[in-house]
Every structure is written in C-alpha cells, then in structure tokens.
C-alpha cells in the first residue's frame, strides 16, 4: 500500500530520474509545450480585450460638463500704463499720483512734460529723486524680475518695484487691469507674512 494516495495514481512522480528529480511525461513534455502556446495566446487576447473595454468605457465617472462662458470680445480697459502696453497719453506718472508706471526715462519725462502731466518746473533729476526718496526701483535699476524681487510686488499692489510686469503673468494682469490693492497688507492680516 502506498504511503500517499496520490502517489499510486502517478507512478512517474515516485521515480527519481538523474535530471534533478523531476519526472517527465513519457512524451518528454512536448504535449504540454504544445498546449501552452494556445493558452498563452488566449490569455493575451483576453487581457487585450479587457484593456480595450476599459479604454472604451473609461475609468472616470461621468461628469456634467462645465457651462460655456464666452470670453470677452475686447480686452478690459487698461488702468495702468507701463512699458509692456505703452504710454497712454494723459496718464500722470504714478509717483505724482497718476496711473502711468512707464519707466522714467528721459524720453518719457519729455513726453509727459509736453502733455502737461509733469510740472515744467520739475527737472528730470528731481523727478528721478522722487523715486529714490520713496525707495522705488524701476527698469532703470533692474529688469526681468516679474515684480517678484525683494522690492516686490509692483508699486500699484503695495510694493516698491516698478519694473515692467512680465506679460502673460498674474502680476501683469493685476497691474494692468486691476484690482489694485495692497497684497502685502492682506498677507500680513491673514498671517501669511
């Protein structure tokens, strides 16, 4: 009587051949190899079909689309002129309480004196000193900071930087179109400083 009931039905499993103790079927395992080829193909086909079904149906739940909101046909009114948008005639320099943040170059100074937005008795040197006295830096001092430098944000938002804002950024939109509020004070009030 065999020690294990299954060993009686598989006499080849009891044999210990010289190739490591694994018994091979009488045909040398060729029948098993022939059967595994189509099995792998069926398995691959099932996985491929399952992947296609998942892709076709999608994994995300169905969501209601957001309502269509058309973009304004025209850009909003420019509240502050600066070098990126060009000078708007009649805008007084920011340092004198106006809406012009163009770089205080000699050319811009002469244009604004001719427009009457800068008093004729204010020399160019005295005009530049107004910026220095308030600690305001302009494109004459540095460029390309995007108003995120140590003097930032932009002066219309409560900072001391009057460098030209970088087009396409939040700062550009806020400076050009508003709203103009002191974002440094808001940060301090909320404890984010």
pLDDT in tens, 13-39: 455 555 555 566 666 655 555 555 566
pTM above 0.95?
A: no
pLDDT at residue number 51: 79
Measured CA to CA, the distance from residue 27 to residue 36 in angstroms comes to 15
Measured CA to CA, the distance from residue 81 to residue 88 in angstroms comes to 6
Q: Which region among 22-36, 59-73, 79-93, 166-180 has the lowest average model confidence (pLDDT)?
A: 22-36
Measured CA to CA, the distance from residue 68 to residue 150 in angstroms comes to 40
Question: At 71, is the pLDDT very low, low, confident or very high (cuts 50, 70, 90)?
Answer: confident
Among 172, 164, 153, 151, which Cα is nearest to 87's? Answer: 164
pLDDT at 12 over 70: no
> Can you give the chain as a three-state secondary structure string?
CCCCHHHHHCHHHHCCCCCCCCCCCCCCCHHHHHHHHHHHHHHHHHHHHHHHHHHHHCCCCCCCCCCCCCCCCCCCCCCCECCCCCCCCCCCEHHHCCCECCCCCHHHHHHHHHHCCCCCCCCHHHHHHHHHHCCCEECCCCCCCCCCCCCCCEHHHCCCEECCCCCCCHHHHHHHHCCCCCHHHHHHHCCCC
pLDDT at residue number 16: 53
pLDDT at residue number 171: 92
6, two tokens: 């299954």
Measured CA to CA, the distance from residue 83 to residue 94 in angstroms comes to 13
pLDDT in tens, 91-145: 999 999 999 999 999 999 999 999 999 999 999 999 999 999 999 999 999 988 9
């Amino acid at each position: 009587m065999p020690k294990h009931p299954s060993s009686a039905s598989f006499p080849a499993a009891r044999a210990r051949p010289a190739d490591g103790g694994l018994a091979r079927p009488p045909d040398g395992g060729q029948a098993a190899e022939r059967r595994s080829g189509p099995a792998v193909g069926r398995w691959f086909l099932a996985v491929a079909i399952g992947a296609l079904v998942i892709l076709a149906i999608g994994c995300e739940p169905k969501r209601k689309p957001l309502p269509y909101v058309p973009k304004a046909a025209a850009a909003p009114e420019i509240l502050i002129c600066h070098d990126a948008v060009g000078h708007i005639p009649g805008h007084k320099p920011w340092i004198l309480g106006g809406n012009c943040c163009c770089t205080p170059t000699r050319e811009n100074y002469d244009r604004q004196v001719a427009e009457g937005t800068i008093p004729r008795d204010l020399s160019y040197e005295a005009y530049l000193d107004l910026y220095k006295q308030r600690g305001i830096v302009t494109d004459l001092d540095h460029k390309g900071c995007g108003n995120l430098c140590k003097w930032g944000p932009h002066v219309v938002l409560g900072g001391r930087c009057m460098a030209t804002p970088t087009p396409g950024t939040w700062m550009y939109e806020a400076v050009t179109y508003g709203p103009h509020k002191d974002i440094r004070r808001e940060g301090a009030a909320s404890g984010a400083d």
